[in-house]
Amino acid sequence: MIWERVLIILLLGLVGTGAYTAFKQLHLRRVNGRQPAAAASGQPTLLYFRSEACAACPTQSRYLAQVMGSGEGGEGNGRFTLQQIDVDANPDQARQYGIMTLPTTMLLDAAGKVREINYGLTPPHKLQQQLKTIGAGN
Which domains, ranges and CATH numbers included, belong to the chain? 35-133 (3.40.30.10)
Q: Are 136 and 121 in contact (CB under 8 A)?
A: no
Q: Are 88 and 53 in contact (CB under 8 A)?
A: yes
| Residue 57: pLDDT over 70 | yes
Looking at per-residue confidence, does 33 or 103 come out higher?
103
pLDDT bucket at 40, cuts 50 / 70 / 90? low
pLDDT digits (tens, 9 = 90+) for 11-31: 999 999 999 899 888 888 888
pTM of the model: 0.79
pLDDT digits (tens, 9 = 90+) for 86-136: 999 999 999 999 999 999 999 998 888 999 999 999 999 999 999 998 877
Q: Are 60 and 48 in contact (CB under 8 A)?
A: yes
